[in-house]
């Protein structure tokens, strides 16, 4: 059924703007739909659309315990702006304590395996709890964010989690998103003005140098150009997505 929904919705979503993509998705897909925000500029625009339209889409986040102070402040400002709570999932205490005991509080710097292990505990496992029982997952992914994400479709079948995955900003540019947030006075992270275009955990994110790609500041000590935390990848390390009809690209 999920594959048929993807095939049916893909050509209908393509010509629409963000608001209408979210509205159509809510109308067509039954059950619980979840949007996960990390309070980046893309996610803030999606949150604005969901809240101002009053859509029955759960807006949730993952508090890794290592977020920037600016991100926490934006979380609070966003709740105040829209008069809505954004509920969070947190890392489980025992696995996190075991990880720190074995690798140290900043052990993720020592190897890719250590870093991915930290991401799994702080991000991937909490995400699984947030998505439990959901029929669809909305994200803020854009195809031009990085080499790893260039094949992202508007709507996909996430076989790993057995749900429909909607990326309503997949074909948007960063410039278009910035313009929209300014037009609608959407609150954004103060770190964007300091050279942080992609923002994750504080120890794992730095400001960009001139000429660097948008996500180059994430896990900057790793050489792999296709760096991801694991939220959007399967066991093989590739983004979890199913083939989408050409009309949706």
Residue 45 near residue 169 (C-beta atoms within 8 A): yes
The angle formed by the CA atoms of residues 186, 46 and 154, to the nearest 5 degrees, is 145
* 118 known ligand binder: yes
Tell me if 131 is assigned to a ligand binding site. Answer: no
- Whole-angstrom CA distances from 175 to 60, 82, 142, 144 are 25, 24, 12, 11
The question of whether 229 is a catalytic residue gets the answer yes
What CA–CA distances, in Å, run from 58 to 170, 185, 221? 20, 22, 35
Q: Return the DSSP state at 209.
A: P
Residue 171 is classified by DSSP as T
Residue 201 annotated as binding?
yes
218 among annotated binding-site residues = no
CB atoms within 10 A of CB 101: 10
- Tell me which of 229, 231, 233, 239 is the catalytic residue: 229
Binding residues for [4Fe-4S] cluster, as ranges, are: 118-119, 201, 204
Catalytic positions are: 229
């Amino acid at each position: 059924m999920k594959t048929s929904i993807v095939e049916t919705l893909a050509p209908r979503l393509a010509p629409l703007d963000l608001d209408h993509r979210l509205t159509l998705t809510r109308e067509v897909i039954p059950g619980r739909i979840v949007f996960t925000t990390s309070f980046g500029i893309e996610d803030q625009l999606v949150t604005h659309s969901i809240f101002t339209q009053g859509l029955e889409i759960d807006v949730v986040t993952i508090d890794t315990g290592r977020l920037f102070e600016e991100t926490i402040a934006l979380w609070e400002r966003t709740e105040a702006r829209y008069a809505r709570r954004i509920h969070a999932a947190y890392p489980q205490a025992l696995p996190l304590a075991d990880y720190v005991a074995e690798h140290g509080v900043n052990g993720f710097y020592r190897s890719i395996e250590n870093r991915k292990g930290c991401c799994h505990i702080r991000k991937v496992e909490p995400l699984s709890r947030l998505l439990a029982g959901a029929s669809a997952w909305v994200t803020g992914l854009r195809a031009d964010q990085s080499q790893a994400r260039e094949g992202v479709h508007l709507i996909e079948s996430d076989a790993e989690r057995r749900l429909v995955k909607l990326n309503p900003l997949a074909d948007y540019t960063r410039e278009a998103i910035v313009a929209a947030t300014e037009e609608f006075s959407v609150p954004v992270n103060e770190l964007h003005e300091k050279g942080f275009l992609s923002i994750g955990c504080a120890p794992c994110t730095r400001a960009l140098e001139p000429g660097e790609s948008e996500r180059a500041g994430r896990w900057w000590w790793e050489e792999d150009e296709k760096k991801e935390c694991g939220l959007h990848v399967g066991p093989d390390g590739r983004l979890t997505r199913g083939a989408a009809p050409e009309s949706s690209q």
